[in-house]
A and B are shown apart, each in its own frame.
Chain A
């Protein structure tokens, strides 16, 4: 075996690289959604926010030739989407799940509408950090070429995990999520907290979109998202509303998704399309194994309509 071929070792390496590459948007969307859901509201419209964020980031990066300005613009746009969702859901009798689906349609439509002129030009990409310099193997170097947003996401998940437990903001968020009445008794307006939580959730989801258009696959087109925004909502439940859990669940999901392409690269092609289903099957199996008909999910916010 010569220096440049690593044989079957390429499979776990490709899965690791794939997990990091695929999971980054999931990390941001699920962290955002975990903040929103902790406040007792569910925003299914993050798919639309994600795609709109991808479009905004790409368009701004093309115009200013700075990818980071693109990410900031995406955050602002995503925040607006989240605030709109939060504002509408404040009114009585409005179903947050249905509004989420409608907002998804609205966000997708608006992104395709405004993003039409940006399909052609190319935008500057986000930088990555080369951690594989110690190895002489190009595969290892490629696999350890880690994007900056992944690192930010990892740090953010630890920070949120800490902040939920140890800060006043985290306490307020959890109280509102568990009981609107208890929050009112504390003098907190639950609607305001949920509005802010949905806004922050939207801006984080838009960062996930910015990653898609500015790093991997690194272009803007109408098929850019393959349901990352919707799946992240499932990942949050799967992770039991724990930010570190969201990070790990996203990695696991990304790794399962990278299984098919990794096996294909070493010549296993049969059942290629079935490997596409691997992350979904895995999530479903774990969901079934950890659910119970007699009790609600551990860690579920009390006022969340999805788990009642």
Chain B
């Protein structure tokens, strides 16, 4: 309460720099999330250094290794980008429904079933159809199945009032059981003995790397999906309606907005992206659907989305940052003799601190756009 009182009555700065005011105002608005995020990351790293220091290891060496292992060379950067690729799509699976006020935490299920669907549709097609058509069919199959899976959660939410967080979580466990049932049963390649899998894709049907990089096309697909989602939310009437419904469902209903269609549409699209992540995993990494599909990308996506504050464009740098931390894990383990869970601890510390720093929004006068408004504008609005 004291917080609000301290930020409201701010007199505009007098002076004749009026022409630059709108840009300053814009800058203040945009600088706040960047500054707070940077502060949070630094604070998180400082806390983690303390932890490492207490254990008798050198934090400086740790951060040097983090940098070289995650971003320091072209090789490690490519490694980080590869790991970021699925997180872009699973992050969207959380961020899009979140704009409607829905917390979906079961993207893992859509990833898994999307991957199985992509593998299943590819099997009869390989050999008779050209690779690009197979990839298209796999992508569509993955998106449709993933979209239906999370779309069901949206339908249950809107038409039955079932809590979407819990329903999506239950659906994720059901999806993993379904995958195991299928890859152990009808879709199993008899040649896969220890690790039940579907029949692997022939080498020429594997989704290759982006030209000039050792990173598969998943990164480009994920980045495109993020940009398209940003446009959908910020620049279309559908996205505008979704933002209104996310702000206040009652207001949206009174305005006559199709809230039900928005919820089902956004959850289905979100699931579609997660399903696409499963398809990329099958077509570009694994070559077949197997238990490795449930590698936790869906759960890491939750954190990606929350750290990006559900902004699809911000998902891109956040996913790359997390991919880099992941990539550096092995190096830290080998060079410093720390357990491989070190990266998990670092990630956890960072997440807690960054989400904690949400409380800093609106606390700094310097980021208040009203401070930078030109005097006549502020009079008109008052």
Query: Which A residues have a C-beta under 8 Å from some C-beta of B?
Result: 44, 48, 88, 91-95, 97-99, 101-103, 105-113, 116, 222, 227, 230-231, 233-234, 237, 271-274, 276-277, 280-281, 283-284, 287-288, 291-295, 306-307
Contacts and interface: CB of A to CB of B under 8 A. Distances in A.
A116 B178 CA distance: 32
B163 A109 contact: no
B306 A95 contact: yes
B191 interface: no
A287 B168 CA distance: 12
Interface of A is mostly: helix
Interface stretch (B20-28, B275-283, B351-359): B351-359
B108 to A, nearest CB: 10
Interface in B168-197: 169-171, 173-174, 177-178, 180-181, 184
Closest 4 CB pairs between A and B?
Answer: A106-B348, A109-B344, A112-B341, A277-B177
B166 A233 contact: yes
A307 B184 CA distance: 38
B349 A106 contact: yes
B173 A107 contact: no
A94 B306 contact: no
B4 to A, nearest CB: 10
B249 to A, nearest CB: 10
B348 A110 contact: yes
Interface range on chain B (Cβ under 8 Å from partner):
35 or more
A102 B103 contact: no
Interface stretch (B154-162, B209-217, B234-242): B154-162
A108 B180 contact: no
Nearest to B344: A109
B352 A88 contact: yes
A77 to B, nearest CB: 15
B181 to A, nearest CB: 4
A283 B356 contact: no
Given A109-B347, A284-B174, A94 B358 contact: yes
A306 B163 contact: yes
Given A101-B302, A102-B355, A288 B162 contact: yes
13 contacts: A88-B355, A95-B306, A102-B351, A105-B347, A113-B339, A273-B184, A277-B177, A280-B174, A283-B170, A284-B174, A287-B163, A287-B167, A306-B163
Contacts of A91: 356, 359
Nearest to B359: A91
A292 B161 contact: yes
Interface of B: 3, 103, 105, 156, 158-163, 165-167, 169-171, 173-174, 177-178, 180-181, 184, 299, 302-303, 306, 338-349, 351-352, 354-356, 358-359, 361-362
Contacts of A274: 177-178, 181
A106 B345 contact: yes
Given A88-B352, A98-B306, A293-B158, A109 B174 contact: no
Contacts of A227: 173
B150 to A, nearest CB: 14
Nearest to A103: B352
A209 to B, nearest CB: 16
B295 to A, nearest CB: 13
Contacts of A103: 348, 352
A98 B162 contact: no
Contacts, number: 145
A109 B345 contact: yes
Contacts of B352: 88, 99, 102-103, 106
Contacts of A222: 341
A50 to B, nearest CB: 15
A183 B156 CA distance: 34
Contacts of A271: 181
A107 B358 CA distance: 21
Contacts of A293: 158-161
Contact of A234 (B169, B177, B354, B362): B169
B348 A287 contact: no
A273 B176 CA distance: 9
A3 B361 CA distance: 72
A92 B3 contact: yes
A284 B170 contact: yes
Nearest to A305: B103
Nearest to A222: B341
Contact of B341 (A116, A237, A295): A116
A101 B344 contact: no
A119 B177 CA distance: 28
A294 to B, nearest CB: 7
A48 B348 CA distance: 10
Given A108-B348, A271-B181, A99 B160 contact: no
Which of A92, A105, A306: most chain B Cβ within 10 A?
A: A105
A97 B165 contact: yes
Which of A44, A48, A295: most chain B Cβ within 10 A?
A: A44
Nearest to A279: B173
A93 B347 contact: no
A287 B174 CA distance: 15
B107 to A, nearest CB: 12
Contacts of A288: 156, 160, 162, 167
Contacts of A306: 163, 165-166
Given A277-B177, A284-B174, A88 B356 contact: yes
Nearest to A109: B344
A237 B355 contact: no
A277 B173 contact: yes
A293 B154 CA distance: 12
A100 to B, nearest CB: 10
Nearest to A296: B161
B160 A291 contact: yes
A243 B332 CA distance: 45
A93 B358 contact: yes
Contacts of A88: 352, 355-356
Contact of A99 (B344, B349, B355): B355
A233 B265 CA distance: 27
Given A101-B303, A113-B339, A276-B177, A291 B162 contact: yes
Given A94-B355, A271-B181, A280 B3 contact: no
